[in-house]
Structure 1
Amino acid sequence: MAKIEIYTKAFCGYCARAKALLDRKGADYQELDVTMDRAGFEAMVERSNGGRTVPQIFIDGKHVGGSDDLAALEAKGQLDPLLGAG
């Protein structure tokens, strides 16, 4: 399986939606909550080339975007291969 990292904040509906999709896929992921973590937030912004909204999702170190981007990959049938499930 791929290494998945997802930057989140508390009470974020988009974060919950992205995690629910990954959970349905049976994917293990590392959640990095940046709600009160300024250094973590800055690291997220740097890694995502300026992305300041959450979630920011990385699969095997590659930035795939946010919740809508993850859902679009799933709709196109491109998520499973990235997760190593296809």
Structure 2
Amino acid sequence: MAAPVGFMKAGDRYVKDPDRRVQEAIKMVFDKVEELGGARQTLCWPHEYNFDLPVKQTNGDTARRRPHYSAIGRLKHRDVVV
């Protein structure tokens, strides 16, 4: 299974992507999950404010677009080092 956007696989753990802009965007998602109480509310937030989040493309590059529910859920449920 591939690492979620914002993270890279390091052995059996996930570590932050070295790109600071990606790190800040992903931290904002975690902060919003804590503030708003769940993935559904967090998903509504970027759509309401026309905010794009980083996504991994199939070639490994990072692009930006509105998130899907599954992307927020994958971030929320990973064993990550934040």
* TM-score, with length taken from structure 1: 0.30
* TM-score, with length taken from structure 2: 0.31
